[in-house]
Amino acid sequence: MAQKNIRDAINETLKLEMRRDPTVVVIGEDVVGGLGGTSGVEEAAGGTFGVTAGLAAEFGRRRVIDTPITESAIIGMAGGAALTGLRPVAELMFIDFIGVCFDQILNQIAKFRYMFGGKAKVPVVIRTMIGAGMGTGPQHSQALYNMLASVPGIKVVLPSNAYDAKGLLTTAIRDDDPVIFCEHKAMYLDACEVPDESYTIPFGQAAITRKGSDVTVVGISRMVTFANKVADRLAKEGVSVEVIDPRTISPLDTATILASVRKTGRLVVVDECNPICSVASEITSLAACEALSALKAAPVKVTAPHTPVPATPDLEQAYVPSLEQIERAIRSTLASGSGAGRVAAAAG
């Protein structure tokens, strides 16, 4: 099976779905690029990181639709097109830009199906880049998916590898509800084996990426790869770490997480969000509320600190949860028989 990176897996998925269904269209800023320029180059961009490269050549600009820089109109237009018969894949270049189009997500597309009495389908996917680690600073590096997970009516998907990216995006495009598909910008070149043909991965079904019995570590997006590395490192010492990748945080596969926590009795959640009302908060609270008697130690949250993302590389590195922090959190929960929960924030 061929090795493919996340960027190419997403690109391939878009092509496969556009071939399969003529109502699938791609909408966004510079998803092709070059209109109105002076060079005459047919495809001057193909997406910010080349994720949509080659789509226009195969499907034409009628279905691969460049827009001005106009996020409210992009998201709203995609929502309106979804209401009326298309399956748009809209690109919100960076999730940080949600600030200029949140109404269209929060009050429009997330609400249509419910407030129209179940008579509306809204098959729209919003692909968006998340995450720190590339030096892109406070307005291009946030995680923010935690905010979206608290809005009923939208599904929030966070692939952590190329195989999942393809299967989850296929599911997203074929789904009749709005889906926010979060791509970590530091992971586009991460590769693994990916089949050439189409396949789907159901939403609300976590993956267990490392089997273990001593401690459960739930990771989100890029933090899954960090957790896997720590698990492999600790395995050499005989510490058995189970790593769970929820893959979708809304809906959330609570059953798989709780089953693992009941088995290991210990929980660490690694999440790149700011700590307050983070996904880590939700999952640790889930364990405390639903599996308290199984817990041998207080759950531990490893998150970014409650600060904006700094541009300075050293500080940014300190902002993102590190392998060391994750390892420390695991060791602390293993050492602790009971006691208060702790937040292993970046500065700690």
Partner 1 sequence: MSYDPIMLLDAYRRMRAIREFEERMRREVQAGTVPGFVHLYCGEEAIAVGACMHLKDTDYIGSTHRGHGHCIAKGCDLEGLLLEIYCKQGGLCNGKGGSMHMADLNKGMLGANAIVGGAPPIAIGAALTAQVLGNRSVALAFIGDGASNQGTVFESMNMASVHRLPMIFMYENNGYAEFSGAAWHLGGGDIARRAGGFGMPSVKVDGTDFFAVYDAMGAAVERARNGEGPSSIEAVAKRWYGHYEGDMELYRKKGEVDELRATSDPLVKFESRATAEFGIDAEELREIDEELREIIDEAVDVAKAAPKPPREALYTDVYASY
- Catalytic residue positions, numbered: 71, 140
Quick one: which of 28, 76, 167, 219 contacts partner 1 (CB under 8 A)? 76
**Helical ranges in the chain per DSSP H:** 6-20, 55-59, 71-83, 102-103, 112-115, 145-149, 162-174, 222-235, 254-264, 279-290, 313-319, 323-335
Site for partner 1 contains 151 (CB under 8 A)? no
Tell me how far the alpha carbon of residue 212 is from its chain's centroid.
24
DSSP letters of 259-285? HHHHHHS-EEEEESS-STT-HHHHHHH
Site for partner 1 contains 112 (CB under 8 A)? yes
Quick one: which of 6, 8, 9, 63 contacts partner 1 (CB under 8 A)? 63
Q: What's the closest the beta carbon of residue 176 comes to partner 1, in angstroms?
A: 9
Quick one: which of 10, 18, 75, 330 contacts partner 1 (CB under 8 A)? 75
Q: What's the closest the beta carbon of residue 117 comes to partner 1, in angstroms?
A: 3
Quick one: which of 67, 136, 170, 278 contacts partner 1 (CB under 8 A)? 67
Distances from the Cα of 321 to the Cα of 42, 95, 137, 223, angstroms: 41, 19, 16, 8
Contact string 172-191 vs partner 1 (x = CB under 8 A): -----x--------------
Q: What is the DSSP letter of 252?
A: B
Integer Cα distance of 221 and 92 in angstroms: 18
Per CB under 8 A, the segment of 102-110, 180-188, 220-228, 267-275 that binds partner 1 is 102-110
Per CB under 8 A, the segment of 13-21, 66-74, 156-164, 183-191 that binds partner 1 is 66-74
Integer Cα distance of 29 and 223 in angstroms: 28
Site for partner 1 contains 92 (CB under 8 A)? no
Q: What's the closest the beta carbon of residue 192 comes to partner 1, in angstroms?
A: 29
Tell me how far the alpha carbon of residue 224 is from its chain's centroid.
11
DSSP letters of 103-132? HIIIIIITTHHHHTTT------EEEEEE-S
**Secondary-structure breakdown of the chain: helix, strand, coil percentages, each rounded to the nearest 5:** 35, 20, 45
Q: What's the closest the beta carbon of residue 92 comes to partner 1, in angstroms?
A: 13
Residues 23-62 close enough to bind partner 1 by CB under 8 A: 23, 25, 27, 62
Quick one: which of 37, 40, 118, 238 contacts partner 1 (CB under 8 A)? 118
Quick one: which of 86, 129, 187, 241 contacts partner 1 (CB under 8 A)? 86
**20 C-beta neighbours (distance < 10 Å), count:** 12
Residues 212-271 close enough to bind partner 1 by CB under 8 A: 250-251
Site for partner 1 contains 78 (CB under 8 A)? yes
User: For residue 98, what are its two tokens?
Assistant: 């949600």
- Closest CB to partner 1 among residues 74, 162: 74
Question: Where do contacts with partner 1 occur on this chain (CB under 8 A)?
Answer: 23, 25, 27, 62-63, 65, 67-68, 70, 72-86, 88, 103-104, 107-108, 111-120, 152-153, 155, 177, 204, 250-251
